[in-house]
């Protein structure tokens, strides 16, 4: 018999303690023999990224049933806003459909806001016509929140910095390249862009009883882009780097940075990159030539920092906005996978700095697709700044700098990265994050090319175990349920229960 008797008292006691603490207490009292023992997983955040289409296709209750039963999920990261297929929509066309959901590609995917858009919040931005037309009348937050709450699951809005060029009013917000072209990305130093992120955050925070928000921006500054320092960065026109709009020029002026010199520096950098991409070695080599430019034109790195500071402004803006609505809203960020590849980008993601505007970080540690992606990064920079080295040498150097060691370049796209990489990256994040919670992003069936690494249940089990072993306070099953195979999803649950 339980001494307190009443199930209400029991529930109250449980709500004040974590389930694990509660389980310890009743075990110590010798009274818990017949009560269900709380699993180790219950005070961790076990999150899954899921888009509206999955609830439309498979139903809200059946979807949540599966997440709870198969993977012990207690938190939903719902893709509420994106124009990209990385987190919204069904499986990417050309990739095999998973063993659940509608067996059909959504070739007419559009994207936008998958919750209802409340106009009153968007008075300070011309970008306001953002309602996703994909599932007319289906407000994903309105439909999912009550069902999630009744099960004790938390719901987070997950929104990202991905746009399309055909939206009303978007031109005013777009970035401008060093060659003067407008592009599809939005400028963080443009007040309307910050007003847009503030509006969307206010809309979610005021309109819905959500538990938190996560925002992501998979972009880097002009230096990283000019030298192709990212997966998929190869062959990008080095003159398409951003941003040189009027707002950025104003910001530069305020900082005492000479815009003309900065643009000249980036044009010279582009010319150098074009030369090395064409396979022609500068007389002093690629690295020395690049470094010389950085010394001659410190404005190049000044502009890189100016861009990064704009992105940080967005983090701070969203954080402040959310906390002003409700201080208990949990606010955190998706940290781009490039953090695992490019040391230039990694240097700019300072976890200690994130402490002042973050409750949690979802650090991407996608180990399976990490193989082909790391290989892609290596091939790209071995044609630019590291053009003096062979790709194999660049990979060896990258392992040393990033402090993990995996397969050689030939095998890497097929082997992926191991769970050891997940463990090392988790420990590295925890070492600097202070009170900020670290929730590693776990790769479940993120698309790769036909002959590249595919996720298997053992990969998911090992990656989840590695994250937990390293001390992570949660995991985020990624990127979207609509591309996950069920055996791989169940493997996450197996790891958490083992």
Tell me how far apart the alpha carbons of residues 416 and 477 are, in angstroms, rounded to a whole number: 17
Judge whether 148 and 155 are in contact, CB under 8 Å: yes
Q: Residue 309: CB partners within 8 Å, gap ≥ 6?
A: none
Site for Zn ion in 163-192 (CB under 5 A): 187, 189
- Residue with smaller CB distance to Zn ion, 55 or 266: 266
For residue 289, the SS3 value is helix
- Quote the radius of gyration of the chain (alpha carbons, Å): 24
How many residues line the site for Zn ion (CB under 5 A)? 6
- Residue with smaller CB distance to Zn ion, 252 or 467: 252
- Residue with smaller CB distance to Zn ion, 193 or 277: 193
The answer to whether 243 contacts Zn ion (rule: CB under 5 A) is yes
Residue of 320, 452, 435 whose CA lies nearest to 374: 452
- Residue with smaller CB distance to Zn ion, 74 or 190: 190
- Using alpha carbons only, give the angle 3, 5, 7 rounded to the nearest 5 degrees: 130
Site for Zn ion in 116-135 (CB under 5 A): none
- Residue with smaller CB distance to Zn ion, 189 or 334: 189
Q: Residue 28: CB partners within 8 Å, gap ≥ 6?
A: none
Helices assigned H by DSSP within 382-456? 391-402, 412-415, 419-433
H or E element: which one contains 157? strand 154-160
- Kindly state the smallest distance separating residue 269's Cβ from Zn ion, in Å: 18
- Kindly state the smallest distance separating residue 174's Cβ from Zn ion, in Å: 9
Judge whether 143 and 60 are in contact, CB under 8 Å: yes
Site for Zn ion in 63-92 (CB under 5 A): none
Judge whether 52 and 145 are in contact, CB under 8 Å: no
- Kindly state the smallest distance separating residue 384's Cβ from Zn ion, in Å: 24
- Residue with smaller CB distance to Zn ion, 23 or 243: 243
Using the contact rule CB under 5 A, the part of the chain among 159-167, 235-243, 395-403, 415-423 near Zn ion is 235-243
Which DSSP string corresponds to 65-78?
HHHHHHH---EEEE
> Prior bond to 447 cis, omega within 30?
no
- Residue with smaller CB distance to Zn ion, 293 or 313: 313
- Kindly state the smallest distance separating residue 274's Cβ from Zn ion, in Å: 24
Judge whether 51 and 113 are in contact, CB under 8 Å: no
- Residue with smaller CB distance to Zn ion, 171 or 296: 171
3-state secondary structure 217-232: CCCCCHHHHHCCCCCC
- Kindly state the smallest distance separating residue 193's Cβ from Zn ion, in Å: 9
Strands 112-113 and 75-82: antiparallel
Using the contact rule CB under 5 A, the part of the chain among 54-62, 138-146, 178-186, 245-253 near Zn ion is 245-253
The answer to whether 263 contacts Zn ion (rule: CB under 5 A) is no
Judge whether 101 and 90 are in contact, CB under 8 Å: yes
Using the contact rule CB under 5 A, the part of the chain among 24-32, 49-57, 214-222, 242-250 near Zn ion is 242-250
Q: List 160's β-bridge partners, or say none.
A: 216
- Residue with smaller CB distance to Zn ion, 189 or 428: 189
The answer to whether 193 contacts Zn ion (rule: CB under 5 A) is no
H or E element: which one contains 309? helix 299-325
The answer to whether 248 contacts Zn ion (rule: CB under 5 A) is yes
**Helical axes 367-381 vs 419-433, angle rounded to 10°:** 80
Tell me how far apart the alpha carbons of residues 32 and 231 are, in angstroms, rounded to a whole number: 52
The answer to whether 245 contacts Zn ion (rule: CB under 5 A) is yes
- Kindly state the smallest distance separating residue 249's Cβ from Zn ion, in Å: 8
Q: If phi over 0 gives left and psi between -120 and 50 gives alpha, with beta otherwise, what is residue 232? A: left
- Residue with smaller CB distance to Zn ion, 167 or 243: 243
Terminal CA-CA length for the chain: 29
Burial of 229 (0-12, 13-18, 19+ CB in 10 A): buried
- Kindly state the smallest distance separating residue 300's Cβ from Zn ion, in Å: 16
- Residue with smaller CB distance to Zn ion, 65 or 218: 218
- Kindly state the smallest distance separating residue 124's Cβ from Zn ion, in Å: 17
Measured in whole angstroms, the distance separating CA 82 from the mean position of its chain's CA atoms is: 12
The answer to whether 229 contacts Zn ion (rule: CB under 5 A) is no
- Residue with smaller CB distance to Zn ion, 187 or 241: 187
- Kindly state the smallest distance separating residue 217's Cβ from Zn ion, in Å: 14
The answer to whether 470 contacts Zn ion (rule: CB under 5 A) is no
- Kindly state the smallest distance separating residue 187's Cβ from Zn ion, in Å: 3
Using the contact rule CB under 5 A, the part of the chain among 101-109, 112-120, 239-247, 367-375 near Zn ion is 239-247
- Kindly state the smallest distance separating residue 251's Cβ from Zn ion, in Å: 8
- Kindly state the smallest distance separating residue 350's Cβ from Zn ion, in Å: 23
Q: Which residue ranges make up the site for Zn ion (CB under 5 A)?
A: 187, 189, 243, 245, 247-248
């Amino acid at each position: 018999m339980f001494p307190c008797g009443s199930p209400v008292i029991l529930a109250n006691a449980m709500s004040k303690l974590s389930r694990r603490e509660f389980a310890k207490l009743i075990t110590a009292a010798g009274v818990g023999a017949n009560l269900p023992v709380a699993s180790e997983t219950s005070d961790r955040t076990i999150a899954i990224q899921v888009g509206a289409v999955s609830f439309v296709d498979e139903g809200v209750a059946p979807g949540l049933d599966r997440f709870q039963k198969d993977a012990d999920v207690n938190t939903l990261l719902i893709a509420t806003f994106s124009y990209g297929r990385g987190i919204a929509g069904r499986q990417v066309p050309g990739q095999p459909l998973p063993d659940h959901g509608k067996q059909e590609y959504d070739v007419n995917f559009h994207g936008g806001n998958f919750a209802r858009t409340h106009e009153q919040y968007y008075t300070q931005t011309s970008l306001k016509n953002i309602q996703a037309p994909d599932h007319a009348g289906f407000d994903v937050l309105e439909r999912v929140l009550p069902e999630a709450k009744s099960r004790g699951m938390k719901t987070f809005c997950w929104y990202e910095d991905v746009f399309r060029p055909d939206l009303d009013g978007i031109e005013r917000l777009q970035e401008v390249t060093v060659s003067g072209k407008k592009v599809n990305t939005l400028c963080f130093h443009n007040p309307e862009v910050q007003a847009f992120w503030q509006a969307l955050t206010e809309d979610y925070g005021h309109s819905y009883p959500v538990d938190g928000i996560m925002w992501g921006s998979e972009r880097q500054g002009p230096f990283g882009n000019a030298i192709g320092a990212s997966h998929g960065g190869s062959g990008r026109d080095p003159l398409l780097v951003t941003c040189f709009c009027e707002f950025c020029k104003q910001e530069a002026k305020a900082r005492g940075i000479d815009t003309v010199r900065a643009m000249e520096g980036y044009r010279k950098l582009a010319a150098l990159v074009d030369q090395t991409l064409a396979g022609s070695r500068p007389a002093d080599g690629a690295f020395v030539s690049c470094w010389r430019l950085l010394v001659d034109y410190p404005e190049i790195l000044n502009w890189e920092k100016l861009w990064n500071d704009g992105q940080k402004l967005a983090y701070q803006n969203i954080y402040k906005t959310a906390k002003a609505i409700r201080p208990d809203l949990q606010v955190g960020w998706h940290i781009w996978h490039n953090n695992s590849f490019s040391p230039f980008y990694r240097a700019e993601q300072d976890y200690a700095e994130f402490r002042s505007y973050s409750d949690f970080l979802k650090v991407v540690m996608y180990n399976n697709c990490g193989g082909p992606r790391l290989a892609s990064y290596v091939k790209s920079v071995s044609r630019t700044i590291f053009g003096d080295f062979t790709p194999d040498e660049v990979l060896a150097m990258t392992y040393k700098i990033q402090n993990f060691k995996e397969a050689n370049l030939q095998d890497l796209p097929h082997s992926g990265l191991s769970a050891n990489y997940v463990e090392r990256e988790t420990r590295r994040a925890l070492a600097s994050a202070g009170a900020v919670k670290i929730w590693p992003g776990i790769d479940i069936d993120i698309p790769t090319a036909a002959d590249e690494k595919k996720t298997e249940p053992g990969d998911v089990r090992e990656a989840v175990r590695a994250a937990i072993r390293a001390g992570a306070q949660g995991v985020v099953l990624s990127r979207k349920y609509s591309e996950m195979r069920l055996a791989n999803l169940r493997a996450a649950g197996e790891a958490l229960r083992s």
